[in-house]
Amino acid sequence: MDAVKILIINTDETPIQIEKYEFTSKDKDQIKETILSSLNRLGKTAYGLIKYKDEYWAIDHTAQGESISLNYDRHKVTYIPDELLKEFA
């Protein structure tokens, strides 16, 4: 089973705080719940990165205003700074 690694990055803290999670690829519901609960708990200054196999995906809130996100945006990225790549190790 392939691992899905997730970094949730809170840019509202100094220094920036990073939460790390790891799941198997079959844990889709738990992955979604973890991402949404983390983004909603930390607020609009948080975003995430997912590593699955050799691909990286940026994730972000979909909510507007004061509401919570019920889903998240995801798009593939080709460049990750070295500081964040180290966090996936």
- Per-residue pLDDT, averaged over 20-37, amounts to 95
Per-position DSSP letters for 15-81, written without gaps between them: SPEEEEEEEETT-HHHHHHHHHHHHHHH-TTEEEEEEETTEEEEEEE---TTSPPSSEEEEEES---
Per residue in 70-80, pLDDT tens? 888 899 999 99
- Determine the pLDDT at residue 65: 67
Among candidates 54, 50, 56, which has minimal Cα distance to 28? Answer: 50
Q: Which residue has the higher pLDDT, 58 or 61?
A: 58
CA-to-CA distance for 7 and 48, rounded, in angstroms? 5
Q: Strand, coil or helix: what is 9? A: strand
What confidence category does residue 67 fall into, taking pLDDT thresholds of 50, 70 and 90? Answer: confident
